[in-house]
Structure 1
Amino acid sequence: MTILITLLDLAGYVALLLWGVHMVQTGIQRAFGPSLRTALGIALANRFYGFFAGMGVTAILQSSTATGLMVAGFAASGLVGLVPALGAMLGANVGTTLIVQLLSFDISPIAPILVLIGVVMFRRSNASMTRDLGRVMIGLGLLLMSLHLLVGLLEPYRDLPALRTGLRALASQTGLAMVIAAILAWAAHSSVAVVVLVMSLATQGIVPPDTAFALVLGANLGTAINPLLEGSAKDDPVARRLPLGNFVVRGVGAVIVLSLLGVIQPWVSALGGSHARAVANFHTLFNVGLAVLCLPLLTPYAKLLRRWLPANEDLSDPGRPRYLDSAAREVPIVALGHAAREALRMADTLQSMLAFTRDAFTKGDRNRIAEGKRQDDVLDRLNTAIKTYVSALDPDEMTTDDRRRAGEIIAFITNMEHAGDVIEKNLLAQATKRLKRGLRFSPEGQAEMTAMLDRLSTNLQLAASLFMTDDARAARMLAAEKDVFRQMETEATRAHFVRLRAGRIDSSETSGMHLDVLRDLRRVNTHLVAAAAYPVLEHHGELLTTRVRPEEEAPAA
């Protein structure tokens, strides 16, 4: 019974350790995630800048996984080269060692103070930044408490004969120890948590130094497994290059160092300090040494990765999402960036539909009509995929800005899909009817429709740009197009009836079709305004609740 209670206590303290690490990571991501992502993207100019940027961002986020997701997103989209991205991953691996170095010292007495400060910051402040930093303080306090509790729990058992027998068996199987630690780090999504746990075991002398070092190697290898097994990288060879490259570097380095542990272990232990300091020093030396050796070799290594994983020449199914990486859901700001990139694909698809519609009315091309209708299926599938992806994000991990951005993405893709429906079900249907019945518009009517279609294409480009920039001036320009289209429709309708009365229109059927097309073009423009302009104007407080004049200001009848 006593052993069962001890095992439950051990599991609880390990869970507290993991939760403390999680609170630190999410608190930092909420407070500084967008800024850090922007800074990382700017800094990825070459391998050395990328190395220091990856190290700095990871030291702040305390998550090489989060940094890796950001860098992988940049690399997969072609925004940065593979060599700087690999350099950033080497830096991210070094960044994880900094908090381990801090925790190797006995600073557990300040844990209650950190928790107290964090709770006060979280409960007493309405500012989101202060609350997020309070979350970080609470997480650090819980992390230190869990380490102290683990050490106290394990101390009475370090001399048990059964435990020592088992550890002696494990000590003779350092490869098995590395595999066990890799599985733990993969399951926990954190090398820091596993290394800190190993430090606790080493402090009590429960594991010998060589076994502890093997466990550290496994922890470093384990967190490189997650990106390989999760997300869209499994299907895109270009996106797989970075996680595979990082995994191979860590794996080869771990195997080589494991084979040399007999030589390395006495040297590292001779650096001095406690057993916990020895584990932290080994963790740091492994990652720094790996970076020093690999940074000069990244260019030929990147060429080798490109040869192993050549880009798909066939883009295959256009309705298949390309950027919705499920692994990125752990970091909402990164996931929302992926969703926004996928949403822009919907804008490009709608642009193609407008081009097909223009050709259908001006050239009478049946093939373009069929292609335009197929593009609507692409819009529908992308819309469903993006909504499912964004809806699956954990709201508790999202800041106020994250939730607003998620709403903007949903509004954008919904209106893109509705605009596509208007084109497919109305405009392309009218073009098909016109061709089947051999109907012709007057030159003036044809010119009016062409002018509105060209203006729609320009407005769609503005909407896509506005969706990414959040610029209030551009939003006002796009919103003003709603009045412009209303005026264009009114003037075109008036001119149409003038031609009809003058007998310059041969068919009443052509007349009705012309008016329907004008109305549908205005409807498409309304969706573009609602997709991009209204969310931005609402965010800046420039959107009125109604266009109707208040009753007290209405003119007397």
Structure 2
Amino acid sequence: MLLLFAVRFVRTGIERRFGAMFERLLTGHTNTAIAGLSGTALAVVIQSSAAVALLLTGFAAAGMVGFGFALAGVLGADLGSALVVQLLSFDLRWLMPFLLATGGWLYLKSDRNHTRLNGRIVLGIAFILISLQFLREAVDPIRESAFLPAVAGYLSTDYFAAFLVGAALAFVMHSSVAAILMCVALVQVDALPFAAGLSLMLGANLGGALIPIWLTRDLPPVPKRIPLANFLLRGSAAFLCLMVINLFDLSGALLLGQPGQSLVSAHIGFNLLLALSALGIVRHLEQPMNWLLPEQEDEETTSSDLLEPLSPLEAPHGSQAAVAMSSVRQELLQMVARVERMMRPALDLYQHDDPEAIAALLQEDEKVNRQFTDIRRYVARMPRQNMSKSEIKTARSLVEYAIRVEAAGDIVSKRMTGFAKARHDERVQFSPPGWKELSDLHRAVTESFALARHVLLVDDLECARRLVLDKAEVKRLERASRKAHLKRLERGTAESFQSSDLHLETLRALRDLHGHIASIAYPILYRSGQILETRLVTEMKSERVND
């Protein structure tokens, strides 16, 4: 359990700290080789190929990457997770005290969000090393028991059962890294034969490919094709290797030196060969996946046709309501992605007077408005008599979020472009500290878009909490910048007098925009009892009332 907790602790910390950077890395290219290398690098950093697969699936659902690129990235991520196993299998006990002290100090003593996340990552790595040490010490006495040799002997003779056990282990643990690390620990202390470890390792590769399929089970067909293609490739390759190794008795040839290290090397070799052999064909797999997972009739057209009003005769029955809801989510996802694309260059307009860029933003905002109108019309025509109460409530919350996303687009296209025009017309100059504060806040707001898209896709409770915590961080940055600006005014800084109105208005616009985007988290938090209806104290002391 400590190993599972530690792997998740590191992964979520890195996702929160570097999520926006990951998005730029994964969506800035079209070459499949670059996609594979990017996926490998991110999986090494995040320590989870499933997390990279979910990121790429979300980007594909938003139309930000193509099928071939996303699948190449997932294959590279599987290789990256294998390299993580190698890194963590080294004897790094000497690092544990340093990592614990450094991570604990950063996490507990700082009130800055980014510093705390850095401490979280370092602490998580220390916990992984500690858990592996505990695991090695715990299984060492088991070698002398009568039960383990019987189980180990059975798994070494029935390789297919060992294969299934490895797959189940990785799926239940929701981490192929943790499952394979445990197998390596058992093989290292001779608690498990190397041949059985090979079968368990291949099964864990199959189980690891099942995890993204399970986590994306409620998504529309288009994004689900990527984890399915990865599962078919990885599963068939793992099963083929299992049969070849055991039918031709090749386990002895793969035992090179220490059994634990040999198992890790076999794991890396399997993923490396799979990635190299499959990168050239990933683009050709799109058509078979389209055939295996065809789009629903309601999803065959483009986004502008997708949300045409339903006539009463064409109203979906209850089983189709979930399909309609998925269509709304997909359109909302594209709305959020479009507002994000508008948001990224917003501060650049303050520096460069570019009427064409402003006109392009206005056009994008018109598209956002049309998408909002289509969503509202589509949901209004959905037959309530064939929908459950929870489905009606979900549909209503999606429309409410569409209202907030449309308002976020208006902030960029109307308020921030207006501020940019005013700056150029009046030749206003920001002070260097003031401009840095605005840039930092703009970066913090932009980084939350990826988290919001993920929450919209999978209703992730932890990420919903993270969005609300990020909202508090954005408010803190806005408040700190406002106070620093007022102090500069007190000192008589000339640029601060010139830019005072624009500085304060931009701060308020960025804070409001983030509030709109983060609002997707509140329905999830309300449903799980993670947030209160009001922050007011419910009861007042009688003496205070009398006063």
TM range (shorter): 0.5 to 0.7
**Residue 297 (structure 1) shift:** 2.1
Are residues 1:538 and 2:508 paired? yes
1:320 to 315, 325, 332: 325
Q: How is 1:151-550 mapped onto 2 (pairs within 5 angstroms)?
A: 151-231=136-216, 233-234=217-218, 236-262=220-246, 263-270=249-256, 272=257, 274-315=258-299, 319-322=324-327, 324=329, 340=336, 347-348=369-370, 350-352=372-374, 374=381, 384-385=393-394, 413=402, 463=407, 465-466=409-410, 473-474=416-417, 538=508, 540=510
Contact kept, 8 Å, 1:71 with 1:88, in 2: the verdict is yes
Give the structure 2 partner of residue 32 of structure 1: 18
**Residue 194 (structure 1) shift:** 0.5
What CA distance in whole angstroms lies between the structure 2 residues aligned with 1:372 and 1:226? 32
Change in Cα spacing, 1:82 to 1:147, as seen in structure 2 (3 Å) is same
Q: Deviations over 1:132-154 (max 9, x none)?
A: 11111111111111111111121
**Residue 62 (structure 1) shift:** 1.1
Change in Cα spacing, 1:324 to 1:22, as seen in structure 2 (3 Å) is farther
**Residue 258 (structure 1) shift:** 0.5
Change in Cα spacing, 1:149 to 1:471, as seen in structure 2 (3 Å) is farther
What CA distance in whole angstroms lies between the structure 2 residues aligned with 1:353 and 1:338? 12
**Residue 266 (structure 1) shift:** 2.4
> Which of the pair has more CA radius of gyration?
1
What CA distance in whole angstroms lies between the structure 2 residues aligned with 1:475 and 1:170? 70
Contact kept, 8 Å, 1:466 with 1:474, in 2: the verdict is no
Contact kept, 8 Å, 2:219 with 2:326, in 1: the verdict is no
Change in Cα spacing, 1:61 to 1:374, as seen in structure 2 (3 Å) is same
SS at match of 1:320: helix
Change in Cα spacing, 1:143 to 1:535, as seen in structure 2 (3 Å) is farther
Are residues 1:71 and 2:56 paired? yes
Contact kept, 8 Å, 1:476 with 1:537, in 2: the verdict is no
What CA distance in whole angstroms lies between the structure 1 residues aligned with 2:130 and 2:379? 62
TM-score (norm 2): 0.61
SS at match of 1:79: coil
Change in Cα spacing, 1:337 to 1:319, as seen in structure 2 (3 Å) is closer
SS at match of 1:224: helix
What CA distance in whole angstroms lies between the structure 2 residues aligned with 1:72 and 1:30? 18
Q: Which runs of 5+ in 1 are unaligned?
A: 1-14, 326-335, 357-370, 390-408, 417-459, 479-533, 544-557
What CA distance in whole angstroms lies between the structure 2 residues aligned with 1:96 and 1:169? 29
What CA distance in whole angstroms lies between the structure 1 residues aligned with 2:382 and 2:408? 18
Give the structure 2 partner of residue 111 of structure 1: 96
Task: Work out the percentage of aligned pairs sharing the same amino acid.
Answer: 28
Give the structure 1 partner of residue 466 of structure 2: none
| RMSD after superposition | 3.8
Contact kept, 8 Å, 1:321 with 1:342, in 2: the verdict is no
Are residues 1:102 and 2:53 paired? no
Paired AA for residue 254 in structure 1: A
What CA distance in whole angstroms lies between the structure 1 residues aligned with 2:505 and 2:297? 37
Change in Cα spacing, 1:373 to 1:239, as seen in structure 2 (3 Å) is closer
Q: Deviations over 1:20-74 (max 9, x none)?
A: 111111111111112212221113x021111111111111111111111111122
- Name whichever of 47-56 and 152-161 sits farther off: 152-161
Contact kept, 8 Å, 2:416 with 2:509, in 1: the verdict is no
Contact kept, 8 Å, 1:82 with 1:242, in 2: the verdict is yes
SS at match of 2:95: helix
What CA distance in whole angstroms lies between the structure 2 residues aligned with 1:23 and 1:84? 28
Change in Cα spacing, 1:36 to 1:542, as seen in structure 2 (3 Å) is closer
Give the structure 2 partner of residue 498 of structure 1: none
**Residue 84 (structure 1) shift:** 1.2
Change in Cα spacing, 1:38 to 1:536, as seen in structure 2 (3 Å) is farther
**Residue 99 (structure 1) shift:** 1.6
Change in Cα spacing, 1:350 to 1:324, as seen in structure 2 (3 Å) is closer
**Residue 310 (structure 1) shift:** 2.7
Contact kept, 8 Å, 2:37 with 2:73, in 1: the verdict is yes
Paired AA for residue 231 in structure 2: F
Q: Deviations over 1:438-480 (max 9, x none)?
A: xxxxxxxxxxxxxxxxxxxxxx6xx56457x6996237599xx
Change in Cα spacing, 1:165 to 1:319, as seen in structure 2 (3 Å) is closer
Change in Cα spacing, 1:109 to 1:59, as seen in structure 2 (3 Å) is same
Change in Cα spacing, 1:165 to 1:26, as seen in structure 2 (3 Å) is same
Paired AA for residue 228 in structure 2: L
1:49 to 34, 49, 53: 34
Q: Deviations over 1:367-426 (max 9, x none)?
A: xxxx99638989x9999437869xxxxxxxxxxxxxxxxxxx97x54558xxxxxxxxxx
Change in Cα spacing, 1:214 to 1:375, as seen in structure 2 (3 Å) is closer
Paired AA for residue 327 in structure 2: R
**Residue 235 (structure 1) shift:** 5.8
SS at match of 2:28: helix
How many residues are matched?
379
Contact kept, 8 Å, 1:111 with 1:144, in 2: the verdict is yes
Change in Cα spacing, 1:130 to 1:83, as seen in structure 2 (3 Å) is same
Contact kept, 8 Å, 1:54 with 1:91, in 2: the verdict is yes
TM-score (norm 1): 0.60
Contact kept, 8 Å, 1:51 with 1:92, in 2: the verdict is yes
What CA distance in whole angstroms lies between the structure 2 residues aligned with 1:382 and 1:342? 26
